Structure 1
Amino acid sequence: MSALINYVAAERFATSFDVAAAMLLVYDCSLTLGMEFEFVWSSPWSFMKVLYIAQRYLPFCDAICLCLIHQLAVNIDPYGCHIVETIRGWLMIFGFILSEVILTLRAWAVWERDLRLGVFLISLITLTTVADIYVTRIFLHDLHFSTKPYPEFVGCFGIGANRIVYLDWVVLMIYEAVILVLMIIPGIAAYRRGGNVDLYHVIYRDGIMMYIYLFALSIVNVVVVCALSGEYVAVISSVERVFHSLLTSRVLLHIREYMKKHQPSYTDGLTDLHVDLDASKPENRFQKRWTV
């Protein structure tokens, strides 16, 4: 009975975080709806537009619909719970990778699309994807559910989860640390040169702060999985999932908002950025094109 009480308390705690994540996603989408219509939906179809839409709206499936079914469904059997969690787990990993692709393209852009760095980033994101898929497969295979412990129980009753899932967050944390360093190095150089500070804020400051937030969330997730009991394995996974999509979307929207105001010839596709190379040489201003 004591174990059951602890489990129910943990499930209620997790449900609170899941509901908070769902509300945060809906609230943020309502705030950026106008920007999305202007800078994404009204633009021609392109690779970046498809990436943005997929990573922006996929959390409505895995972080809201499937997540709340797991937490709040009244009549669901163990097999149904396993199906829901399996689909949710794969969608979450897919969504994380889509967001990382956008952010990786952005990091590659500030390095002037260097070929060697491009090969390195492709290799890195491939290894990250393979590692996350492998860990997720093990985690979902070892996930077990049972029938309700009492008739009034709401949601899925999990009886086993593999803590190996923490490696998913470790892999993402390492990847985000690498991209953070790749953003900091050219960012410092750009600020030292001087020039278009407003543009640097959009490109570097916002990107660096975003990666710091994501890195910190990954650390919290690792600590939660490793330090707390098994009932808390996925307590803030939906929160990190939503923040990942939310911050990635805002970074891209802010870049496009800036470029729309300062570049009348702005075209969609991969966002065009014209960067001040050296403020001391007027002939260099806004001559070099970066694409993210």
Structure 2
Amino acid sequence: MDTSRLFVQLLDYAKTQQNVKYTLLASTVFAGVEAFHCLPEEASLIWSGKWNLGKILYLASRYLAFVELIGPAPLFILSPDLSVGACQRIFAAGAALSVIEVTVSEAILFLRVYALGGTDRKLGAFLLALYLGIHGAVYACLYKFLNSIVYMPSPFPNLVSCLPVRANNHMLSVVFILLLVSELVILAITFWLCFTKHKSTNSPLVATFSRDGLSYFVLLSAVSTGNIVCNLVAPVGYIYLLSIPQMVLHSTLSTRMVLHVRRIGSGVYDTKGEVALVSLGSDETEWSLQSMRFAAAPQGKSRSSGHNSSAAVTHTGFAV
């Protein structure tokens, strides 16, 4: 390959990286505005609540994204003249943080489906096996992908820190394919539960679970598909274009879902928004609060909406 052609290719790659920088900036601004917009509700419904699995997952999902957005991502994209070793370490750290963020966010979404299914043990076992199997394979493929990347020093360090000359991007495609499969399976289960178990249920909580779950999984499936397309057919500079937006979208949607549930719960129970995830019969007045909870609901609390029925709480020590 002659020098002039190589020079043109390097300039094209540098231009694509400039667009990747814009994508990072847009994702960071979006995440910041979203967090600021939700801050009042988060303070009243999350920070003031008891520590449990739900609160831990929420805070991790919300703030791990910022660790990536203000740490490895800008350091890798914006820093001039990084060494080859530094490029490998920073990119690996950023990729791992992104996958951990997605893993935490999907844990919330999986638990939502478990609650929507009435905390059925067989459904719970299936969801747990699916979650561990899918995400275990995701980490294995990510490890193979990161080990396959080879960098070289950039001839234009002020434009591009370092150049990837070889990588097994098919392994990264498998990561996004696995996430897409997981999302499609969960989407199918959500449809099935909505049209069988909760078709005649008249409950704001179930309506929120169903509406949020369906719309969120459709959006996540769409961005996962976009990442697969980028990895397989996009120009080399755009292979990782949607990785950061997917992480931010997972964080935003999963935390929004928790806030929606707690906001509705704050109007139903006198628990500062800490509402047990519910399994409802067809009669809105008969609430059976199961053991899998986003937060603890008091024993025998009655609904504040004027109904005389009480909520029977089943305690098994597993709170979300």
Both proteins in one fold, TM over 0.5:
yes
2:182 alignment partner AA: Y
* Cα distance change, pair 194–119 in 1 and its aligned pair in 2 (3 A): closer
* Separation (CA, whole Å) in 1 of partners of 2:93 and 2:71: 11
Do the aligned residues in 1 keep the contact of 2:150 with 2:164 (CA within 8 Å)?
yes
The equivalent residue for 2:11 is: 5
Q: Secondary structure at the match of 2:177?
A: helix
* 1:158-237 correspondence runs (5 A): 158-164=164-170, 165-189=172-196, 192-196=199-203, 198-237=204-243
Distance 2:29 2:142 in 1: 26
Say which of 276, 282, 287 aligns to 1:278. 282
State the SS of the aligned residue for 1:157.
strand
Select the residue among 34, 38, 49 that pairs with 1:43: 49
Q: Kindly indicate whether the alpha-carbon contact (under 8 Å) linking 2:72 and 2:94 is maintained by their aligned counterparts in 1.
A: yes
The one of 256, 266, 277 aligned to 2:262:
256
What is the aligned partner in structure 2 of residue 34 from structure 1? 40
8 Å CA contact 2:220, 2:246 repeated in 1 = yes
Q: Structure 1 pair 9/262, CA: closer, same or farther in 2 (3 Å)?
A: same
Separation of aligned partners in 2, 1:21 and 1:135:
25
The one-character-per-residue Cα deviations of 1:92-128 (angstroms, maximum 9, x if unpaired) are 1111111111111110011111111111111111111
The amino acid across from 2:222 in the alignment is A
Instruction: State the partner residue of 1:69.
Output: 75
Amino acid aligned to 1:136: L
Q: Secondary structure at the match of 2:281?
A: coil
The amino acid that maps onto 2:32 is V
Relative contact order, higher structure (CA 8 A, sep 6+): 1
Whole-angstrom distance in 2 between the partners of 1:52 and 1:199: 18
- Asked if the contact 1:199/1:275 (under 8 Å) is kept, the reply is no
Equivalent position SS for 2:199: helix
Task: State how far apart, in whole Å, the 1-side matches of 2:66 and 2:206 are.
Answer: 32
**Which structure is larger by alpha-carbon Rg, 1 or 2?**
2
Residue 305 of structure 2 corresponds to: none
Q: Does 1:103 align with 2:109?
A: yes
- SS, match of residue 58 in structure 1: helix
- 1:133 maps onto 2:139 in alignment: yes
Aligned residues: 285
> What's the counterpart of residue 246 of structure 2?
240
Unmatched tracts of structure 1, length 5 or more: none
Distance 1:41 1:130, change over 3 A: same
CA RMSD of aligned residues (A): 1.8
Q: CA deviation at 1:192?
A: 3.4
- Taking every aligned residue pair, what percent have the same amino acid on both sides? 24
| Alpha carbons 1:275, 1:286 under 8 Å: kept | no
Q: Please give the alpha-carbon distance, in whole angstroms, between the structure 1 residues aligned to 2:99 and 2:157.
A: 33
